Amino acid sequence: MMTKAEIVAQILNGRGRAPAAGGYAFAPSNIALCKYWGKRDEELNLPVTASLSISLGRLGSTTKLSLRPDSDVVRLDKKELAPDSPFARRIGAFLDLFRRDAGMYFEVEAVNTIPTAAGFASSASGFAALVTALDELFGWELDKRELSILARLGSGSACRSLHHGFVEWRAGTRPDGMDSYGERLDAAWPELRLGLLVITAAEKSMGSRPAMKRTIETCALYKSWPEKAAADLALLKKAIAEKDFHLLGATAESNALAMHATMIASWPPVVYWRPESLAAMQAIWAARANAVPVYFTMDAGPNLKLIFQAGDEAAVRGVFPDLKVVRPFDAEP
């Protein structure tokens, strides 16, 4: 098994120059329509299956980076994190991969433009912005494929946040993961809308990393997941190519529910749903029965992400007045 440090050495391969004064980058958040659930390599975050996501335009993370002489400082949304907090440690361990000498420390200023408190921010946009800012600071001039591989070492889903629009994360087969990265699909869907529905802003019960591991280790249903994910990936690509909204929505919803089924069938069970999550699902199914074309997806938490098209926004808002509506294709740089 290879280590992260070996992969970084292989990619950087002596690239770069004297560090610039700083680095700055933005990366969008992404929401998977076909989920990443299960790793074949925990060190390198290599997935069991391919996944497919849509990036959230201007919603994501900005990261400002500079060098410091004495110790790392990590600020998230203007607040300095305690050095021993889990997030600061995770960033510090990732930055260890890129320090040129023992006396090189970083100041990291990360700001989320997606509501953090509402539980929508994830590590994906953060690590994607961080590697892009590192590229600027050190002048590596890496391409998106290489940056995607580095971002994956921080967090799997981060490899999809290097691009806008629809992104496929190729699972790859190589043990070193050099063929496992995010790639943009050549397709746009300007009328597509995502609605962020806050069920609760409370901290989630369990991080997705241990939940994924427990599912693989204890869930008998997980055996069927690779086949389900492969079939859904093909259907989603067809839906995107043909702009078939019902196929897109139904496939994404079914894929999310199948992922949650594997969590629920793990032991001890992993259940992210709150009673309000199920009530929201039932409201969506009732809306569909009333000819409002709206579907949902869910990740490792209680909140729902609604999928609909621009022409149906008023009808969807009629059911969910507090929805935060995102236009994924509006903010293309």
Contact positions with ligand 2P0 (CB under 6 A) in 197-256: 208-209
* Residue from 26, 36, 181, 295 binding ligand 2P0 (CB under 6 A): 36
Minimum Å gap between C-beta 33 and ligand 2P0 is 9
* Residue from 156, 165, 195, 328 binding ligand 2P0 (CB under 6 A): 156
CB 296 within 8 A of CB 306: yes
* Residue from 113, 123, 255, 309 binding ligand 2P0 (CB under 6 A): 123
- What is d(CA 331, CA 333) in angstroms, rounded to the nearest whole number? 6
- Contacts with ligand 2P0, 251-290, as mask; x by CB under 6 A: ----------------------------------------
Q: Under the criterion CB under 6 A, does residue 35 sit at the interface with ligand 2P0?
A: yes
Minimum Å gap between C-beta 75 and ligand 2P0 is 21
Q: Under the criterion CB under 6 A, does residue 299 sit at the interface with ligand 2P0?
A: yes
Closest CB to ligand 2P0 among residues 132, 255 = 255
- What is d(CA 231, CA 23) in angstroms, rounded to the nearest whole number? 41
Q: What is the DSSP letter of 224?
A: G
* Token pair listed for 25: 């980058």
* Closest by Cα among 124, 209, 114, 111 to 159: 124
Q: Under the criterion CB under 6 A, does residue 32 sit at the interface with ligand 2P0?
A: yes
How many other C-beta atoms are found inside a 10 Å radius of the C-beta of residue 164?
A: 22
Closest CB to ligand 2P0 among residues 32, 287 = 32
Residue whose pair of structure tokens reads 């949650």 in the numeric block: 260
| CA end-to-end distance (rounded Å), the chain | 38
* Residue from 45, 61, 262, 303 binding ligand 2P0 (CB under 6 A): 45
Q: Under the criterion CB under 6 A, does residue 157 sit at the interface with ligand 2P0?
A: yes
Using CA atoms, how far residue 84 sits from 1, 68, 88, 89, 101, in Å, is: 29, 18, 7, 6, 22
Q: Under the criterion CB under 6 A, does residue 307 sit at the interface with ligand 2P0?
A: no
Contact partners, residue 142, CB within 8 Å, separation at least 6: 11, 15, 135, 150
- Kind plus residue range of the DSSP H or E element containing 240: helix 225-242
- The DSSP result for 71-133, as a single string, is --EEEETTEEPPTTSHHHHHHHHHHHTT-SSTT-EEEEEEEESS-TTTT---HHHHHHHHHHH
Q: Which stretch binds ligand 2P0 (CB under 6 A): 2-10, 99-107, 138-146, 150-158?
A: 150-158
* Token pair listed for 78: 């203007």
- What is d(CA 75, CA 64) in angstroms, rounded to the nearest whole number? 10
Q: Under the criterion CB under 6 A, does residue 296 sit at the interface with ligand 2P0?
A: no
Q: Under the criterion CB under 6 A, does residue 72 sit at the interface with ligand 2P0?
A: no
* Residue from 4, 7, 48, 51 binding ligand 2P0 (CB under 6 A): 51
Number of residues that bind ligand 2P0 (CB under 6 A): 15
Minimum Å gap between C-beta 159 and ligand 2P0 is 9
Which positions touch ligand 2P0 (CB under 6 A)? 32, 35-37, 45, 51, 122-123, 155-157, 208-209, 299-300
